[in-house]
Amino acid sequence: MNKYFERIERLRALMIGRGWDAVIVGGSDPHQSEYPASRWKQVEWLTGFTGEAGDVVITADHAGLWTDSRYFIQAVEQLEGTGVELHKTRVPQEVPIPEWLFATLGPNAVVAVDSLCQSAGDFEALAGRFDAVGVPDMLSVLWEGRPGIPQTPVFRVQSGESSEDKLAWLRIETAEAGADAALITSLDEVAWLLNVRASDIEYNPLVISYLLVTPDAAKWFVLKEEIEDPDTEAVFASLREEGVEVLPYQQIDLALDSLDCTVAVDPSSLNASLAQMVGGHALSWTSPVQLRKAMKNAYEQDCMRQVHVDDGVAMEKFLYWLEKSLDAGRTVTEWDAAVKLGQMRAAIEDYCGDSFETISAYGPGAALPHYITPHSDAPVLEPRGLYLVDSGGQYSRGTTDITRTIPLGPCSEEEIQHYTLVLKGHIALAMAKFPAGTPGCRLDVLAREPLWKAGLNFGHGTGHGVGFFLGVHEGPQDIRQNLNATPLYEGMITSDEPGLYVEGSHGVRHENLLLCVPAEETPFGEFLAFEPLTLCHFDTSIIDWTLLTEDEAFWLRAYNWSVYNRLSPLLEPEVAEWLKAKVSE
């Protein structure tokens, strides 16, 4: 019997015992993190589905997975034999979970969720329609061998601003919002405030913890009992000296239960279990840490510039190796290439790991924006068509994220047109100058219009915020089709990654990170612009130059030469020569 089918049956037995009509299992953790640790991969444990977005509903006679088009094919394959049916989201005929539950079970249904892994806002919405039951760690009683809460060593980082200053700033913000204390539940906000990092979540240098900041105390609730690491102890000692109390992770419940003042909480990362404890003391806000963290200070900007030199060297060495390997007729698979690129990055002194799983995709694989490169039997790179590699590193000097699409030999006319038009869009956005106060959604069209004119488009956002040695995705700004009103402020780092995907054939994506910088002040106001942080040449061998304006062609040549000028002193002579030839084309 399929093991997932069996797990679902055991969950149903539990449901009968408890009187639950339905159970919803989601894919997040107690901090509403985008990428949870394995302990919280509950959807995968229950159904075998490994997509990054998916929610499961179990009733007495139905098991369903709700996910979007990125994962339809994967879901069908992975759900085979589990008895779980696919419900498509983000499609016109979509029936969202609450509507489905209402239609199936009516308003009196008892619906249980893991209150630790459900946001306070979502739980409230559910409770408004059904008899909602929140159970912390609901699946633990069924899940034998469930991984524990990750405990990796903690270390401190330089960020150009002491955590004392950051906490002092937060206390002012809290008071101005009319609250006595602030509960910080989002992991990257905690890490930013205390200047601490760890490896509790893959690709994300975060410490699983909560931070409670009152006018005269800061309490950090963190779980590190198991590791007995002297460096971690030293971090704790340094924090205590700064006035931060270090307390066991689980004591957050106690601290909130006994609290008798107004606490500012952000419902987007607060879980339903904690929300219940804060109760009437809560004051909802959008944590001001989000915006402040996104506006990198001078130190962070300098570090990001530096680390992109080293990251660019790794990329160019990799691209050199790739071309020479194929020229020599060696067999290179997508997986081999990803491993090689990882090795190049690992040679950088402050490398702490990749910032996400490398997408190394040849031909039709690259047509899937979220392609997962297989560890074994990966496709072999052939000396023709397009190869796409989207990757990044975590360094103490910052986080990188870069995509290059490489022609490995002759390309079709369609590939050439697509390669050029996506690059045209990338350049148009990179060249943008705009008044202070402009939100990213107003600039998104610059990257898309060249594609739209040709009847083409891509389904993902053009740009996401990037953290400073934190998550490779962060808010509050972005550059995409959705109307997000957050302006792009000086110091923000956002990706510029238009793409184009032709199913079964090829994919193109060109991605640099852009730093938002002041451009000029005129009688018409203050203007901002972008400085590309990423340093790695764009291959010009297959460009259809007739599709670029003079300004765009100039930008491209100037960018490629700036890459050569910055990187060549750090490259082996033969790699530098090769790069010179590349940027001279």
Q: Is 545 in the site for a copy of itself (CB under 8 A)?
A: no
The end-to-end CA distance of the chain, in Å, is 60
Nearer to a copy of itself, 375 or 524 (CB): 524
In this structure, the dihedral spanned by the alpha carbons of residues 46, 47, 48 and 54, taken in order and rounded to 10 degrees, is -100
For 340-485, strand residue ranges (E) read 351-354, 359-362, 386-391, 393-395, 398-399, 402-407, 433-435, 463-465, 474-479
Q: Which is nearer to a copy of itself, 326 or 446 (CB)?
A: 446
Least distance to a copy of itself from the beta carbon of 424, Å? 12
Q: How many CA atoms lie less than 13 Å away from 214 in the CB half-sphere?
A: 10
Of 148-156, 393-401, 448-456, 462-470: span binding a copy of itself (CB under 8 A): 448-456
The nearest distance, CB 442 to a copy of itself, in angstroms, is 5
Q: In three state form, how does the secondary structure of 557-581 look?
A: HHHHHHHHHHHHHHCCHHHHHHHHH
Task: State residue 98 phi and psi, 5-degree precision.
Answer: -60, -40
Among 107, 483, 569, 573, binds a copy of itself (CB under 8 A): 483
Q: Would the CA dihedral through 27, 30, 33, 35 be positive or negative?
A: negative
Please say whether the beta carbons of 15 and 60 come within 8 A.
yes
Count of residues near a copy of itself by CB under 8 A:
28
Choosing from 457, 541, 565, 584, the residue that interacts with a copy of itself (CB under 8 A) is 457
Query: Is the CB of 69 or the CB of 140 nearer to a copy of itself?
Result: 69
Within positions 387 to 446, which residues make up the interface with a copy of itself, using CB under 8 A? 431-435, 439, 441-446
Query: Of 453, 541, 565, 574, which one interacts with a copy of itself (CB under 8 A)?
Result: 453
Q: Does 496 sit near a copy of itself (CB under 8 A)? A: no
**Under rule CB under 8 A, residue 368 binds a copy of itself:** no
- CA neighbor of 388 nearest in space, from 458, 438, 455, 467: 458
Nearest-approach distance from CB 545 to a copy of itself, in angstroms: 13
Q: For residue 476, state whether it binds a copy of itself (rule: CB under 8 A).
A: no
Determine the residue type at 567. Answer: L
**Shortest Å distance, C-beta 479 to a copy of itself:** 11
Q: Report if residue 90 touches a copy of itself, rule: CB under 8 A.
A: no
Structure tokens, 126: 């559910």
Contacts of 337 (CB under 8 A, 6+ apart): 318, 322, 360, 381, 387, 389
Among 61, 377, 522, 573, binds a copy of itself (CB under 8 A): 522
Minimum Å gap between C-beta 93 and a copy of itself is 17
Rounded Cα–Cα distance for residues 53 and 58 (Å): 17
- Give, as ranges, the residues between 292 and 331 that touch a copy of itself (CB under 8 A): none
Q: Which is nearer to a copy of itself, 342 or 369 (CB)?
A: 369
The owner of tokens 């989000």 is: 290
For 293, residues 6+ apart whose C-beta sits below 8 A from its C-beta are 188, 189, 192, 467, 468, 470, 474
Does 527 sit near a copy of itself (CB under 8 A)?
yes
Please identify, using beta-carbon distances, which residue of 15 and 543 lies nearer to a copy of itself.
543
**Positions that interact with a copy of itself (CB under 8 A):** 431-435, 439, 441-446, 449, 452-453, 455-457, 481, 483, 485, 519-520, 522, 524-525, 527, 549
